[in-house]
Chains A and B, each alone.
Chain A
Amino acid sequence: MVVLMTSLSSPTRRAERLLKLYPQIWRERYGAEFVDLMEQSIADRPHDAKRTTNIIFKSLKVRLSDLGFAGPNLDNANASRSALSTTTVLATVFAVFALFYWSCTMVSWNSNPKVATSVSVSLWTGAITVSTFILTLTLFGVGIIFLFRALKSTFLRRDKKFRWSLIAVFASSILILNGVHQYIRFTIARGGIQWFQFGQALKQVAGATQWVTQSVIWGPSWTGGSTFSEGLLHISATVAVVVLAFSVAKLIRNSEFSVTATRAGVRATKLLSASMFLFLFSCAGWELSGGYDNSLMAPFTQMEKSLFFVIAFIALLSLSTSLRVRNRDNSIEIVSSTNEAA
């Protein structure tokens, strides 16, 4: 027992436990020398609460930095990758809500047969449509590019690091597609979407989107319906979207970034953030110009209004991440010019 206790509290063990507080990329770079320093520091002063607190706070800072939320990243080459990875997760959550709010505005557009929707509301609805389209298309593009790169790496180079992420991406995509199919079955039963009548098609797509996004948003707290399968469908849709977002983010984090890919990653991060803010701005315009008026749309519930603030916070987090990438790029330029001068 004494031997076991001594072993568990040996300087090496304690140093290794503290090292685990740091993210993997940091451990790979500084792990060995950190453990060495800690062993000697613990030998000098076995118990030091101030030292432990210092490590806890600094490691938390490194973890936040690794996600693109705080301070400069450990490795500048990884800054674009971290920012894009984090923004992809944030933007996916945002996109679900954006698609839900877009579908509500689109379904309510010209819904009152007695009063035509005003020009200003129509313009703001258009702006909401465009921003949602840019956001969704950018996310889709990012997902497809990294999926293709991961598949290429897995099958051509026999690289195993993407294996589990790829399985998760395909499994969650199947669940989402199944959810979409289940929710648009009424539209399909009525002859499908009338693609040749653009206005009608847009309304039908919005209606189907409303069903699907509602399912994803309210999935975990869903109480409607009476069958187990419907409840499972709601919950699985939410889980699948979360799994898909994190799996694509993992694919991004594990990918090698060339100089061109780094620049493209920074641009994609900024485009995602910009489209989120364009969406929020358009929603504010729609609301102020009387989007609810003259339509048969039911007012948003208190929860739906509150969730709007949640996505505004997500947009702010994303903006913060994209601005930090820009700052890091500047710091690289300063260093290189300093080195040249030296």
Chain B
Amino acid sequence: MKNSTRPDQLGKNPGVSGLILSSLAGGEKHGYALVKDVAEFAGVDLAPGTLYEALARLERLGLIEAIATDDRRRPYRLTGAGASALSEYLAMQQQVVKVGQSRLARGWSFS
């Protein structure tokens, strides 16, 4: 379907969604482990309200899924659709990085 490749597939606030999906790409994690992992690899401190807003959105979009457990720490994992969406999002980000770096290299010098 044409909608499956749209750029806003990660929903609102794709930056936060991208961070969460990137974290879950490394394996299933519960809320606190996600916050710690994102802080470690991206230096971003995800506030609890923002984290759960994004988790609810990604779960509703079918990009992640909660794993059934008796423990109150419920882990989340990436779905196939989530992996595909993350791959498209990262490719787009790479394109932005490439363009930005090449333009900086042409017009700016840093000592």
Contact = CB atoms under 8 A, between A and B. Distances in A.
Interface of A: 26, 29-30, 32-38, 40-41, 50-51, 54-59, 61-62, 71-72, 74-76, 331, 333-342
Contacts of A340: 1
A40 B32 contact: yes
B109 interface: no
A331 B32 contact: no
B62 A33 contact: no
A74 B57 CA distance: 8
Contacts of B48: 34, 37-38, 41, 51, 54-55
B61 A331 contact: yes
Judged by DSSP, the binding face of B is helix
Judged by DSSP, the binding face of A is helix
A40 B6 CA distance: 37
B7 to A, nearest CB: 13
Contacts of B84: 338, 341-342
A269 B85 CA distance: 33
A35 B72 contact: yes
Contacts of B61: 331, 334-335, 338
Contact of B74 (A32, A54, A59): A32
Interface of B: 1, 3-4, 6, 9, 11-12, 30-32, 35, 47-53, 55-57, 60-62, 72-74, 79-81, 84-85
| Nearest 3 Cβ contacts at the A-B interface | A58-B49, A32-B72, A54-B47
Given A30-B56, A51-B47, A72-B60, 6 more contacts: A33-B74, A37-B48, A55-B47, A58-B49, A61-B53, A334-B61
Given A33-B31, A36-B72, A54 B79 contact: no
